Structure 1
Amino acid sequence: MKSQDRYFYPAVFTYEPGCEIAVTFPDLGVATSGVDEPDALMSARDLLGIVILGMEQDGEELPEPTHVNAVKVEDNELAMLVDVCMPSVRMANVDKAATRSVTLPAWLDALAVENGIDCSQVLEDGLRQRLGV
């Protein structure tokens, strides 16, 4: 199976009063939800990426996506295409370290060393916080 950088699959967003928005992928048999549309879409993208990554790693053939206009929906449902960019999904699931050179003022580096601060860990923590991961 040849992997791609971007995939598009139809998803059905189901709206029920007082409930989270349910999102199902009919072609993949998986579902997720979100508290509002942006959250539901982000959850759908995350799920789509994880499912496709797992199928790629297992050597499984991905099903051909149904055309979004061919997806049957009820009155409280909306079918739309959800996309996922796989390079970032693949890299997020790699545990190897990447080496980066950073520039710090010499006095700040000396102070960090003096206080036993691991600059790599501080940079990683700061990036995780800034990116919300």
Structure 2
Amino acid sequence: MKDKYVYPALFSYDEDGISIEFPDLPGCFSCADTDEEALYMAEDVLGLWMVELEEDNEEIPVPTNLKDIEVGDNQKTVLVSVWMPTVRKAINNKSVKKTLTIPQWLDIMAREKDINFSYILQEGLKKELNLINE
């Protein structure tokens, strides 16, 4: 696993927006309305794509040199870089929804006290897993 990946992206300009593809990463696509948004979307999809490759232990392709990529009339090549520690951290900290059951009387009392159920569950799990000190 590397901390940083840099790949060439091909931005295709059409009347309805900008299509983004990575020649070295078949199936890795995105789209946008402006150049700024296209760069953001390219970084985002590249980071997610690389995490998938890493997690699946797939071979990481060698990036093609910009000079070796053929472009059409409405296309431009852009080097896109992604800092993976930030991407990995964001994915690991993603919230997931859990459904649980508690007695009705406990629900009533907790709501009367304005208890944040998610916070209490998180803190209780951290304590149970010895992730925090009392």
Query: Do both share a fold (TM > 0.5)?
Result: yes
2:9 aligned with 1:15, yes or no?
A: no
2:87 to 86, 89, 96: 89
For residue 95 of structure 1, report the CA deviation from its aligned partner. Answer: 3.8
Distance in structure 2 (CA, Å) of the matches to 1:63 and 1:54: 13
**Number of aligned positions between the proteins:** 102
Unaligned runs of 5+ in 1: 98-113, 122-133
Secondary structure of residue in 1 paired with 2:51: helix
Q: Which amino acid aligns with 2:72?
A: E
Distance in structure 1 (CA, Å) of the matches to 2:59 and 2:5: 13
Structure of larger gyration radius: 2
Q: 1:80 maps to which residue?
A: 78
Unaligned runs of 5+ in 2: 96-111, 120-134
Distance in structure 1 (CA, Å) of the matches to 2:77 and 2:93: 35
For residue 94 of structure 1, report the CA deviation from its aligned partner. Answer: 0.8
Q: Give the TM-score taking structure 2 as reference length.
A: 0.69
Question: 4+ residue runs of structure 1 moved beyond 6 angstroms?
Answer: none
Q: CA RMSD of the aligned region, Å?
A: 2.1
Distance in structure 2 (CA, Å) of the matches to 1:70 and 1:42: 24
Secondary structure of residue in 2 paired with 1:15: strand
Secondary structure of residue in 1 paired with 2:92: coil
- Map residues 54-65 of structure 1 onto 2, 5 A cutoff: 54-65=52-63
Distance in structure 1 (CA, Å) of the matches to 2:94 and 2:82: 23
Q: 2:49 maps to which residue?
A: 51
